[in-house]
Amino acid sequence: MSISPERPSRLPGTPGGLAFPLPRPLPQVPRPTVPAVPPPPATDPFAALPYPSPGDRIRAEDFTRLSQSLRIVADCAQIAAQLFGRTFGEARTVLAGQGYGITRVMSVLGNEPAGPDDTSFDTRRVISVLPVALGGRDVVAVVSETVDTRRFAPDLSSAAVSYTYRQAVETMRSVLGEAGLAGLPMATPELRGRSLAEAARQLR
């Protein structure tokens, strides 16, 4: 019995041919990709946009400036999309390599680095990158927080724990601070001994 060098899917000479699975290629490990960030424009076409008067001749240079301006708008969207979700340290390296300057960095809750040499924001994720001015080289960046700083209200309806009003207030204060308890308690009229119609009129 000989096996064809083409590796048939069934062995010859066997009843009906003995099937065996064909080899499958190993899954490829995804390689890290460098964000494709376009370089800043050499000149600012927005400063030279034409403003023709009715009857003026439209020149080819006018269409060129309009096309360059639209390209810059598209590049800004591409930069924001390419750097979204990247670490700020990686985004800063890519932007500096293309000739951009980061003038300001702020987290979603308003925190800012101590100075240009502060690397504490390098591990945060980029949320947005915006140009200071269209056609320029300066950009600003918004990054995430290092930890989840959101505060969630505790579950006071758990069947395992029975809260009194005072215990519920203390639990809410320990989680939310004074933010959730700043208002005055709602005043309600005394309804004991009232009929349903009287209570409805008093609550209106």
CA 180 to CA 168: how far, in whole Å?
12
In a domain, 57, yes or no: yes
Radius of gyration of the chain (CA): 33
Claim to verify: residue 107 and residue 154 sit in the same structural domain: no
Decide: helix, strand or coil at residue 195.
coil
Claim to verify: residue 111 and residue 52 sit in the same structural domain: yes
Claim to verify: residue 92 and residue 165 sit in the same structural domain: no
CA 177 to CA 173: how far, in whole Å?
5
Claim to verify: residue 161 and residue 111 sit in the same structural domain: no
Claim to verify: residue 85 and residue 167 sit in the same structural domain: no
Is residue 153's pLDDT more than 70? no
Claim to verify: residue 172 and residue 104 sit in the same structural domain: no
In a domain, 76, yes or no: yes
State how beta strands 10-11 and 126-131 pair.
Answer: unpaired
Per-residue pLDDT, 83: 96
Tally of domains in the chain: 2
- Write the burial class of residue 105 (CB in 10 Å: 0-12 exposed, 13-18 middle, 19+ buried): buried
CA 84 to CA 36: how far, in whole Å?
12
In a domain, 156, yes or no: yes
Claim to verify: residue 110 and residue 161 sit in the same structural domain: no
Judge contact between 44 and 136, C-beta under 8 A: yes
In a domain, 173, yes or no: yes
Claim to verify: residue 103 and residue 167 sit in the same structural domain: no
Claim to verify: residue 70 and residue 103 sit in the same structural domain: yes
In a domain, 200, yes or no: no
Claim to verify: residue 113 and residue 163 sit in the same structural domain: no
In a domain, 161, yes or no: yes
Neighbours of 72 (CB within 10 A): 19
In a domain, 36, yes or no: no
In a domain, 198, yes or no: no
For residue range 54-78, what is the model confidence (pLDDT) as tens digits? 888 888 999 999 999 999 999 999 9
The residue segments making up the domain with residue 73 are: 45-143
Claim to verify: residue 109 and residue 166 sit in the same structural domain: no
Q: What are phi and psi of 61, to 5 degrees?
A: -65, -30
For residue range 63-121, what is the model confidence (pLDDT) as tens digits? 999 999 999 999 999 999 999 999 999 999 999 999 999 999 999 988 899 887 888 89
For residue range 11-59, what is the model confidence (pLDDT) as tens digits? 555 555 555 666 778 777 667 777 889 999 989 999 888 888 888 888 8
Claim to verify: residue 107 and residue 172 sit in the same structural domain: no
Q: How is residue 87 annotated by DSSP?
A: B
- Write the burial class of residue 28 (CB in 10 Å: 0-12 exposed, 13-18 middle, 19+ buried): exposed
